[in-house]
Amino acid sequence: MSMTSQPSELSEGRLDLSLGDGENAALNRSVARDTVPSFSSSDGPDATPETGESEPLKSALAQRYGAVLSDLDGVVYAGASAIPGATEALEKLEDIGVALAYVTNNASRSSAEVAAHLRALGAPATAEQVFGSALAGAELLAEQVPPGATVLITGSAVLARHVAEQGLVPVTTADPIPDAVIQGFEPTLGWKDLAEAAFAVAGGAVWVATNTDMSFPQARGIAPGNGTLVAAVSAATGKAPIVAGKPEAQLFMTAANHLGVHAALVVGDRLDTDILGGNRAGMATALVLTGVDTAENALAAVTDERPMYLFSDLGQLHQPYPDITEKDGVYTSGGSRANVEDGVVIMGGPREDVDTWRAGCAAWWAASPRQHTASLPPLRFLDEE
C-alpha cells in the first residue's frame, strides 16, 4: 500500500477569504477527495481495471505518472543552495520519459527569470516548464469573462502580459468600472493601486487573486505577501476574490493542461499549500521531508492535507515505493510496522527511517479517517524502549 513555497513568496500564513463551501468550490474548480488515502500501491494509473491491483513496484515510482509537478523552495533549494540530490533527481526524469514542471505562487517574476534561477542551481529548467500563479490567474479569469473584457491589473507587468495573452484588455484605472480586476504581488504597489482595485470590486467587477500568501521571507526578515494586499481590498469592499494559486486546484490544473498529461504527481514540502492543492486537483501527492513540514506534521495532518506518498528526499522518485500492507490492524512498510492502541501510535522501526513514518501514518489515518483539526497523537517507538 502507498501513502497516499516559492523563491519570493513562501507563505507563512494564508488569508481565509472563502466564499462559502459551494460557491468557492465551483469557482476555484477544486476537486475534494471523497475518501481518505487508501495507502495501496494499486492506487496509481498502473492498476488493472479488473481487480484494481498492480504488479509490485519494481521500477521508479515516477514512471507511474506522466509528469512531476514540483514545488521550489524546500524541494529544489533551501535558501541560496540546491538541496543535496534534488537537481540530480529532477535531471533523471527526462531519462525515464517523465515530464517535469515547476509550480509556484510567485506572480511577480516571469517564467524565464524563475527558470534562469533554477538553472543557476543546477536544475533542469526552461521557461516553458515554469507555471506561476500569474498565468493560472489569467487563465482562471478568462473563464469568468468574455473575450475583450477590460481587466484592471493590480500587479506586475508579467501579470498584465498573461492577461493580454488570454484575449483580454488590461487597463490601469477603475474609471470607468472595468469588467474584472486581477490582483497579484508586485513590490511597488501602493495605496492608489489598492484604492483603484477597491473601486472596481465595489462597482461589481469580477475579482481574481493570483494567490493569498500572507508573507514571504526576505534577507532582512518576513515581509507582507499578496494576501495582505488582497486583505486590504477585501476589508474595504466586504468581498472575496476567486483564488488561482495554491492551495487551490487551478495552478496544478494549468500546469497539467499545458503539459498535456492526465496523471501527474505533485511534489511539495508544505501540507497546507502543495499537498492540499494537489489533492484538490485530484492528483497524486508526495510530501518530501526536506523543507517546512515534518513526518510528525504528516501524521498529524487533517484529512484534506494527507499526502499519498512520503519521501525523505527527491531521490525516492527513482525508487520503488514500498507496498504498505495491513494484517490484524498492523501496518507494515519495508522493515517497519505500526498499529494504534487506545489512541497511541505504536511504531516498530527507527525513528529516522521514513518507512517507520509511512507505517505510522497508514495506521493512524486508518484509525482517524476524518480529521478536521491537525493533532499529533501520542507516539511510542518500540526501538527506543
Q: Specify the DSSP class assigned to residue 14.
A: B
Identify the three-state secondary structure at position 256.
helix
Residue with cell 495552478: 251
**Is the bond leading into 247 cis (omega within 30 degrees of zero)?**
yes
Identify the three-state secondary structure at position 90.
helix
Three cell numbers written together for 227: 494576501
**318: nearest Cα among 85, 126, 3:** 85
Which residues are the active-site residues? 71, 73
Q: Judging by DSSP bridges, how do beta strands 221-224 and 215-218 pair with one another?
A: antiparallel
What b-and-e string marks burial along 212-244, b requiring 16 or more CB atoms within 10 Å of the CB? bbbbbbeeeeeeebbbbbbbbbbeebebbbbbb
Please state the φ and ψ torsions of residue 234, each to the nearest 5 degrees: -65, -40
The number of CA neighbours under 13 Å toward the Cβ of 272 is 16
The answer to whether 210 and 133 are in contact (CB under 8 A) is: yes
The answer to whether 93 and 101 are in contact (CB under 8 A) is: no
* Range 111-116 contact pairs with CB under 8 angstroms and sequence separation of 24 or more: 111/135, 114/7, 114/72
The answer to whether 322 and 334 are in contact (CB under 8 A) is: yes
User: Rounded to an integer, what distance in angstroms lies between the CA atom of residue 47 and that of residue 29?
Assistant: 26
**72: nearest Cα among 100, 93, 103, 99:** 103
Cα Rg of the chain, angstroms? 21
